[in-house]
Amino acid sequence: MILRALADTPKLVSSNWVAVGVSIVVLVATFTIRVRRQQSYREALEWRGKLSAMRDHWLRDGFISVIVTTIVWLLLFAVSLTRTVYTDHQQISAKTSMLGQERDSARVERDALKAENEELRKHSPRVEKEPADSLRRRTFRLAKEVYDFAEERAAHAPPFAAPNSNDPSPTEETKRAIKISQDYARETETLYKERYRDRLVGIVKEYEAKGVPAYWLANDFQQRPPAIAFFGSGYEGSPMDELYQFKQLAYHVDAHDHLITFY
């Protein structure tokens, strides 16, 4: 700020520091010329005498002028500094006022947005969390249980063996293999009936009661375990994959068991 006040000081007399510098050079040159015309300067033979003559002339004629000029410039600098401080104060006040207005405007806008959001929240449809026992959640959970059961039974199944009409008199070893295979299949079907049949049929009938076409699924699940295409099978997701068809029923209802209808 002081540097700016110092730079602006000559402007008070419609000038600048270049003009001030030129004035000083002219003053020094004039003073030098006048001294050289003095008799004491011309009569001095050594440089010490000439300097003494210049000093005497300075003390006699120039010192007061320099003091007065210096005082005048100090006063001008004081005026310039005062004006700079006042100008900066005005600018800071204006910026502070503008920032205050922007802050107040931002607060008003914020409050308006809060009110608008609150109004929208009041009129927005309430989104309820899907119950853990919703129809489609029960469908997917049961489908996974049945898939895991079938996968576990298939992993521990004995080699498949069945009666062959082309071999009316099988060996004892073949008969034992057929019996082991058939007993394992009957055990699998018994476990299915005990654990999953009624639950599968019940869920299918829930969908049918809502108008979802389930076709043959309830009847097939009542008679035997569902046909399952294991991961990577060629008919996975086909009509022969009954467990896949069962899971597809879940996409016909929403989170609250309401039928989804497209027009």
CA angle in degrees (0–180, nearest 5) for 256-250-195:
105
- Residue 262, domain member (yes or no): no
Q: What is the tens place of the pLDDT at every residue in 200-249?
A: 999 999 999 999 999 899 999 999 999 988 777 777 778 889 999 999 99
Domain interval for residue 240: 135-252
User: Is the pLDDT reported for residue 130 higher than 60?
Assistant: yes
Give the mean pLDDT of 185-193: 95
Taking the alpha carbons at both ends of the chain, their separation in whole angstroms is 76
DSSP string, 29-44: HHHHHHHHHSHHHHH-
- Residue 61, domain member (yes or no): yes
Query: For the whole prediction, is pTM greater than 0.95?
Result: no
- Residue 60, domain member (yes or no): yes
Q: Of 70, 87, 122, which residue is a domain's last?
A: 122
Residues 6+ apart with CB under 8 A from 212: 249, 252, 253, 259
Residue 191: predicted pLDDT = 96
- Residue 261, domain member (yes or no): no
Q: Assess whether 145 and 115 both reside in one domain.
A: no
Q: Domain count of the chain? A: 2
DSSP string, 213-232: --TTHHHHHHHSPPP---TT
- Residue 19, domain member (yes or no): yes
Q: What is the tens place of the pLDDT at every residue in 153-187?
A: 999 999 998 888 888 888 889 989 999 999 999 99
What is d(CA 47, CA 56) in angstroms, rounded to the nearest whole number?
14
Residues 6+ apart with CB under 8 A from 162: 178, 181, 182
Other residues' Cβ atoms within 10 Å of the Cβ of residue 242:
21
Among candidate residues 35, 34, 10, the one with its CA nearest the CA of residue 23? 10
